[in-house]
Structure 1
Amino acid sequence: MSRPPTVTLTLVSGHLDRTDHVFDERSTSVVGRSRDCSPRLPNDEHHRTVSRHHCLLDINPPVIRIRDFGSLNGTYVNGLKIGQRAQDESPEEAATQTFPEHDLTDGDEIRIGDTVFRVDIHAEDTVTHAQCAKCRREVSDEVGGRPGEYLCAACQASPSGILRMLLDLAHSGHAELHAIAGYTLLQELGRGGMGVVHLARHESSGKEVALKVMLPRVATRPEARQRFLREVALTKALRHPNIAALEGAGFVNGIFFFTTEYCTGGSVDVLLQRRGGRLPVDEAVGLALQALDGLEHAHRQGVVHRDLSPSNILLHRDTDGSMTAKISDFGLAKAFDRAGLSGLTRTGEAAGKPWFMPAQQVINFKDAKPTGDVWALAACLYNMLTGAYPRDFPRGEDPWRIVLESPAVPVREREPDVPQALAGVIDQALREKPEFGFHSAAELRLALLAVAHG
């Protein structure tokens, strides 16, 4: 079996606790003097001009990119400066700029202050001929030499067509598609950068499900596929009234597909659009409490969501007209990213969704904790009450630097009508330093219950 690709930062000069940092899966790394950085540079006379959060490495082995955060003295690659704010600019003024990203290659050297790292890349065996798994046209130029299954850009541009193709194969008896055999597409429910989701009905039983495809942006190695499907198996095991059940999943012809419980009331973000951007306190807190029940159950099973936002808190209309909140896509988006299947997506113009993300999840991307979900749920509640994000994200500013360095704005500064006791709980829940305000979904739920009924 071939060795998987790796990216290693090897210390060439400087004094650090570790001489190398090895990355063998999708990751990000923030370099600087802050305690939360890795690699963390010394806070000494040789690094006084190094910023707390100096630069960001975006890594999907064997590919690695670097971007300076607008530091005072810049970041150097092979002796060339790749980013630096002007001498008369403050850090806040520099934050209004997004400095360009640079792809790194094997043997490149990065200098920050007096510390120098060499980039060592171990690439897997390359392929010279590759075909699209759907249309079979030559895609060697798109794959970039990486082995594995891949869909060409033209096919990726039509995810609904791919879904229909899968259903046709399922109807013809394809063994790996039995989970979706007998379904007919009714309407598109939504789409994003990774795929599309449709409402589908089973022809004989009449059961309706949400049928989703997720499309890898890179050639899919068997190891990455199995890593992702292992995470999917954990999600399938979750059964709770406040979690949208994942029922079926599979992979065929370079495509991942899923069937999940269909929630008739749409999602919280759509509800907010219908209601003018805000919900009444009792309704918002009620939905948050239900979502926290789902989170608590998942966390007890060792499953972390990693990507919680109003768009994946779904609503199911019960027979009595009430709405039940159900968390969907448990861990799927971040597991897809972590397996390297979404390519390099967290920086630059395709920066992902930083609006509901705690700083720790950027810094320690691989090891997401339940506390990150609790923070994100509090951010969702904040959004339901105010129509705003906890942090300000001015147009043109680097969103990841904002996540790393800007605390949440107190909720009553956004909406003075939020009750003071409730605001205190939300502000505490959105605290990140020196530690998270709440350590579990159960803690936050009890705190919200106390102010809701007090």
Structure 2
Amino acid sequence: MPARTLVFRAPAALSAGRAEDCGLRVAADDRRVSRRHCVFDIDPPAVRVRDLGSRNGTYVNGVRLAPCASRPHELADGDEVRLGGAVVGVFSTGTGARTAQDRPRPAGAARIGDHTLVRELGRGTQAVVHLARHEPSGELRALKVLRPEAVLRPELVHGFLREIRTTRTLRHPRLVAFHEAGAVGTWFFLAGEYCDGGSLAQWMAGREGPLTPETAVAVTLQVLDGLEYLHDRRTADATGPQAAVPDRLVHRDLKPQNILLTGSRTAPSVKIADFGLAKAFERAGLSGHTLTGALGGSVPFMPRSQIVNYKYAGPAVDVWSATACLYWMLTGTTPRDFPDGADPVGVVLREPVVPVLRRTSAVPRRLATLLDGVLADEDPGSRTMPSARELGQALREVL
């Protein structure tokens, strides 16, 4: 595909994909690219990109974007966006243009406290995660750093500190281990276990096709083991009127990007990460605190009940999301279809889940029936969602 240079001096939207009407059309025979793969939102000098639910993903500097994310990803001067075999270089000039130096790391330094930054692992709207070396011990850690602009918003700082308080209390082999947290000047950080296998999303992106039922279920059973611990915790450490209520937690943002892997590539060990939206579900009516952006999780892996009543979301939403991840591992797509240009939240509120066997015939019928039953959330009040433990038992029985 020959190189092209596109110059924008006024706001524009540039769709990219194989469809004939895409402003940035890639080679028609590149099957790794969807017909409408992603869209660039250009408002010079700002440039943003949003994945449109593509099968093989949109990558920024080697990191896969969340499909159908609620917010577009902000690009900086020099960033590279890859879709299939096509690479789009972003060059933005003028007052207000973001550069690589705008990324969250102390100006002129590659160190935060005792941690030396090695490379960036991923970024979100509120924080950036770095691979870092803890100098006193020499071990590698995942260092989550609150973005500089987020420090100016008290609600985001509060949410980050709440994540630290939550994460430091968790001790389970299926949850990413907490090491330490603190602040250096205006840099708030959380240091956790580094998982060298990357995320489930990255692992799947490097494969050709879905996982076998045996492998996908093995991964899911580990996820459910971690959720069972999370949902059953009873450490009442709150103060005031909440003190008598257990702090059993619900994750609320379980998705392939938050399921990390270590060990063997053929039979990896699973760790659940990112408790930024976790909350004590039994205290929902006692606390007036609701994190801004509570719907900031990945909508394609979110049940309808979480959108309708997100403040009171309980363990059932995590069980649904874990099942949606299993569905995705088996079929290569999310339980619901998200057409180009459709409002993702509207899709979840209106559209039913597509039965597993309409996606693929490679899934055993008993397993497909179990998944369809858990994911059928059109009227959650008319049925009982299995617990993480119960779903794990059911998966063992059907496979």
The TM-score normalised by the length of structure 2 is 0.63
Q: Deviations over 1:218-267 (max 9, x none)?
A: 8433x764465234312221111111112222356554321110011111
5 Å-filtered alignment, 1:120-159, equals none
- Larger displacement relative to structure 2 (262-271 or 275-284): 275-284
Partner AA of 2:230 in structure 1: A
Is structure 2 residue 138 aligned with structure 1 residue 196?
A: no
Partner AA of 1:387 in structure 2: G
Task: Select 1:329's aligned residue among 274, 294, 305.
Answer: 274
Partner AA of 1:391 in structure 2: R
Structure 1 equivalent of residue 340 of structure 2: 395
5 Å-filtered alignment, 1:44-443, equals 161-165=103-107, 170=112, 181-215=113-147, 217=150, 219-221=152-154, 225-226=157-158, 228-251=160-183, 255-301=187-233, 302-317=248-263, 322-330=267-275, 332-333=276-277, 353-435=298-380, 438-443=385-390
SS at match of 1:163: coil
SS at match of 1:297: helix
Say which one has the larger Rg: 1
Cα distance between partner residues in 2 of 1:167 and 1:183: 11
SS at match of 2:225: helix
Unpaired runs of 5+ residues, structure 2, are 1-94, 234-247, 280-287
Cα distance between partner residues in 2 of 1:210 and 1:227: 19
Q: Work out whether residues 220 and 254 of structure 1, in 8 Å CA contact, stay in contact via their aligned partners in 2.
A: no
Instruction: Give the % identical residues.
Output: 43
Count of matched residue positions in the alignment of Structure 1 and Structure 2: 280
TM superposition shift of 1:193: 2.4
Q: 1:392 to 1:321 in 2, by over 3 A?
A: closer
Q: Tell me how large the CA RMSD over aligned residues is.
A: 3.1
SS at match of 2:312: coil
TM superposition shift of 1:365: 2.1
TM superposition shift of 1:212: 1.3
Structure 1 equivalent of residue 41 of structure 2: none
Q: Work out whether residues 132 and 140 of structure 2, in 8 Å CA contact, stay in contact via their aligned partners in 1.
A: yes
Cα distance between partner residues in 1 of 2:323 and 2:201: 15
TM superposition shift of 1:197: 1.1
TM superposition shift of 1:410: 0.6
Q: Deviations over 1:350-388 (max 9, x none)?
A: x76211001111112222211000000000000000000
Cα distance between partner residues in 2 of 1:234 and 1:304: 11
Where relative contact order (Cα < 8 A, 6+ residues apart) is larger, the structure is 1
Q: Work out whether residues 167 and 183 of structure 1, in 8 Å CA contact, stay in contact via their aligned partners in 2.
A: no
Partner AA of 1:202 in structure 2: H
Structure 2 equivalent of residue 444 of structure 1: 391
Partner AA of 2:374 in structure 1: A
SS at match of 1:259: strand
- Larger displacement relative to structure 2 (358-367 or 186-195): 186-195
SS at match of 1:372: helix
Cα distance between partner residues in 1 of 2:114 and 2:297: 35
- Larger displacement relative to structure 2 (189-198 or 258-267): 189-198
Cα distance between partner residues in 1 of 2:229 and 2:350: 31
Q: Work out whether residues 327 and 333 of structure 2, in 8 Å CA contact, stay in contact via their aligned partners in 1.
A: yes
Unpaired runs of 5+ residues, structure 1, are 1-152, 171-180
Cα distance between partner residues in 1 of 2:123 and 2:159: 24
Cα distance between partner residues in 1 of 2:128 and 2:374: 33
Structure 2 equivalent of residue 83 of structure 1: none
Q: Work out whether residues 133 and 140 of structure 2, in 8 Å CA contact, stay in contact via their aligned partners in 1.
A: yes
Q: 1:156 to 1:425 in 2, by over 3 A?
A: farther
SS at match of 1:287: helix
SS at match of 2:333: coil
Q: Work out whether residues 248 and 258 of structure 1, in 8 Å CA contact, stay in contact via their aligned partners in 2.
A: yes
TM superposition shift of 1:294: 0.4
SS at match of 2:131: strand
SS at match of 1:366: helix
TM superposition shift of 1:303: 1.5
SS at match of 1:199: strand
SS at match of 1:189: strand
Cα distance between partner residues in 2 of 1:197 and 1:227: 16
TM superposition shift of 1:323: 1.4
Partner AA of 1:195 in structure 2: A
Q: Deviations over 1:253-312 (max 9, x none)?
A: 554321110011111111111112411111110000001000110111211111110111
Q: 1:430 to 1:368 in 2, by over 3 A?
A: same
SS at match of 2:249: coil
SS at match of 2:253: coil
Structure 2 equivalent of residue 134 of structure 1: none
Partner AA of 1:187 in structure 2: R
Q: Work out whether residues 130 and 142 of structure 2, in 8 Å CA contact, stay in contact via their aligned partners in 1.
A: yes
Partner AA of 1:438 in structure 2: M
SS at match of 1:294: helix
